[in-house]
Amino acid sequence: MDKETLTQAVLELKRQRRAVILAHSYQLPEVQEVADFVGDSLGLAREAQRTEAEVIVFCGVHFMAETAAILNPEKTVLLPDLEAGCSLADSIRPEDILAWKAAHPDGLVVAYVNTRAEVKALADVCVTSANAVEVVAGLPEDRPIYFVPDMFLGAHVARVTGRRLDLFPGECHVHAGIREEHLKALLEAHPGAEFLIHPECGCGSGCLYLKPDAKMLSTEGMVCYAKAAEGREFVVATEVGILHRLRKEAPGKAFFPVKPDAVCEYMKRITLEKVYLSLRDLKHVVRVPEAVAEKARRALSAMVAVG
């Protein structure tokens, strides 16, 4: 089928299955276009929690579909490609959390949503890049905090809140690959542009030095800021899939990626054809054992309540 026919087939199957399609902002443009909601991890978790649809087709990566399944144990959650994983989520194991807890029995574990369900089940609270600062700022000041697994997001949270955090040395390979030299080149090419930087980027501190007025924002924060800003040019440091949404929701403005090849190969595993096949056959159901889900649900419920 050509793209137009495939798009219509997906929309018809969605109606027949009483399904909702949720897509992350890093997804392919044609996948974003068939989605009922496109957003960041926090927005997607909230949409998954509130939907009345019987089937949730999650166009993102595995930990996101797990989150939807945990928040909706009575619904069918589909992931169009089970190989859509996450190098950051894979970097940390439950044993890492247990070892830290053994050394810090009064400590609190803050888990970035980019983690597996088994890790979330051991956390006191989950966060996204959109609400991590607010969540950590509200935690008791007399207890040690372990922030896992992204060290760059953790460093950003520590800098803004002034809190001392123990950081797990994890990183997103895509965001970590965005370096200071990439920023310098764009700063020279577009001196009047505003800089929008995702806090997972390895260049975060360097960017604030080079461009003190740069905005450290989640993906959703970038879209909201660009839509409301008076500026017309923006340099964007995150996975390039967001450019489609930025250009669609803020028409007439120019967006320049800091690193044009900042592509998450896991996000891009979800294709329109795979969405169609997943809906047609109800295949690739994501399930989380209830013993794990029950514990993880507490940490996730605390996350969606903030921000």
Sequence ranges of the binding site? 24, 41, 86, 112-114, 129, 172, 198-200, 219, 264
Q: Find the angle CA(270)-CA(150)-CA(225) to the nearest 5 degrees.
A: 70
* Numbered residues of the known binding site for iminosuccinate: 24, 41, 112-114, 129, 198-200, 219
* Numbered residues of the known binding site for [4Fe-4S] cluster: 86, 172, 264
Q: Which two tokens stand for residue 200?
A: 């997972």
- The sheet carrying 166-167 orders its strands as 125-127, 108-112, 145-148, 166-167
Distances (CA, A) of 192 to 186, 188, 231, 233, 236: 10, 9, 9, 7, 13
Q: Which two tokens stand for residue 194?
A: 């505003």
Return d(Cα 172, Cα 184) in angstroms, integer.
21
Q: Residue for token digits 């080149």?
A: 185
